[in-house]
């Protein structure tokens, strides 16, 4: 106490800081030294990318960190999840090729239904007669996003599509497919001529061209944000509900939080399919708009 009084006389700000520290220490001692549960840290720890695979409570596996020419090209948790999703897509493709000349079975019929759905309901319906040539890309996109979404619901897994870098990469690929489709149909000059609709007065060009370019860029941007926000939002809700148990520290909260979490988890299974479908459907629609601009 005498030290605090001396500090108060010499440096009031230091005395105030020391008083706050002492109060915090007393509060912690009154609670048995137990650290306060940080819900925000818990949520971010599960959502954000990391340099290790977490198998809590069994431990974690560190991943190699690689730096080349000043660039960080380290293998991260989300990269591993994308590798797993890619292997699953490749496995589906190999299996589909093998059952083509054999008895398909139930799984074969399921894969055949998925292929026909993407071809008939997405590619041909939104792109037109030439839509069949885009089925491999659309089907690969659909399966890759679907597997990435579902891997986030598997124990010890992580949702790569909740990383905006991943969804941005998928959107950039979709953007180039849109432009290539238009260039293939009309040629380079003809495709960009369609930025301005026919019959528009020349004095409108300075207004229409920036607006059309903005619209061209906003399409993949919408794909990126939509997928990222929906996949991240579901996990935030589940983790927040579970975090209530540790925040409130009351037994009556447990069945409520767990019950709602299970409901959201079941909803996330549905959202995983819906978001893969929406991304693929909008991509096919935007490709069709490039081929049929007016």
- Per the domain annotation, does 33 fall within a domain? no
- Per the domain annotation, does 158 fall within a domain? yes
- The model's pTM is 0.80
- Per the domain annotation, does 184 fall within a domain? yes
- Per the domain annotation, does 24 fall within a domain? no
Q: Which of 240, 242, 232 is nearest to 271 (CA)?
A: 232
What's the half-sphere exposure (Cβ side, CA atoms, 13 Å) at 137? 20
Helical spans, DSSP H, in the chain: 2-10, 12-30, 39-47, 77-98, 105-117, 125-127, 135-151, 164-193, 205-248, 253-291
Helical spans, DSSP H, in 158-252: 164-193, 205-248
- Per the domain annotation, does 207 fall within a domain? yes
- Per the domain annotation, does 145 fall within a domain? yes
- Per the domain annotation, does 197 fall within a domain? yes
- Per the domain annotation, does 275 fall within a domain? yes
Total number of domains in the chain: 1
Residue 86: give the domain boundaries: 38-291
What does each of the 294 residues of the chain score in pLDDT, given as a tens digit? 444 444 334 444 444 444 454 444 444 444 444 567 666 677 777 778 888 888 776 778 888 888 888 788 888 999 999 999 999 999 998 888 777 666 677 777 888 888 889 999 999 999 988 888 999 999 999 999 999 999 988 888 888 999 999 999 999 999 999 999 888 888 888 777 777 776 777 777 778 788 888 888 898 999 999 999 998 888 888 888 888 877 777 788 888 888 888 888 888 899 999 999 999 999 999 998 888 765
Q: Which of 265, 281, 233 is nearest to 47 (CA)?
A: 233
């Amino acid at each position: 106490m005498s030290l605090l009084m001396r500090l108060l006389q010499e440096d009031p700000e230091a005395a105030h800081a020391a008083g706050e520290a002492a109060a915090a220490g007393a509060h912690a001692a009154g609670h048995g030294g137990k650290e306060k549960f940080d819900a925000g840290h818990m949520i971010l720890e599960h959502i954000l990318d990391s340099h290790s695979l977490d198998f809590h409570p069994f431990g974690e596996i560190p991943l190699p960190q690689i730096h080349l020419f000043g660039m960080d090209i380290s293998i991260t948790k989300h990269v591993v999840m994308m590798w797993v999703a890619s292997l699953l897509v490749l496995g589906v493709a190999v299996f589909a090729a093998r059952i083509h000349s054999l008895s398909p079975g139930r799984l074969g019929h399921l894969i055949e239904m998925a292929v026909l759905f993407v071809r008939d309901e997405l590619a041909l319906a939104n792109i037109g007669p030439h839509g069949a040539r885009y089925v491999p890309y659309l089907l690969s996109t659909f399966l890759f996003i679907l597997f990435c979404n579902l891997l986030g619901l598997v124990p010890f897994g992580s949702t790569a599509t909740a990383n905006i870098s991943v969804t941005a990469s998928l959107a950039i690929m979709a953007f180039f497919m849109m432009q290539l489709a238009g260039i293939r149909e009309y040629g380079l000059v003809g495709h960009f001529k369609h930025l301005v609709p026919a019959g528009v007065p020349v004095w409108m060009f300075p207004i229409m061209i920036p607006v059309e370019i903005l619209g061209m860029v906003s399409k993949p941007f919408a794909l990126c944000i939509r997928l990222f926000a929906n996949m991240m939002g579901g996990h935030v809700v589940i983790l927040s509900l579970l975090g209530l148990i540790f925040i409130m520290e009351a037994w009556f909260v447990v069945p409520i939080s767990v019950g709602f979490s299970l409901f959201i988890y079941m909803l996330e299974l549905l959202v995983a399919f819906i978001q893969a479908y929406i991304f693929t459907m909008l991509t096919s629609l935007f490709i069709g708009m490039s081929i049929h601009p007016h």
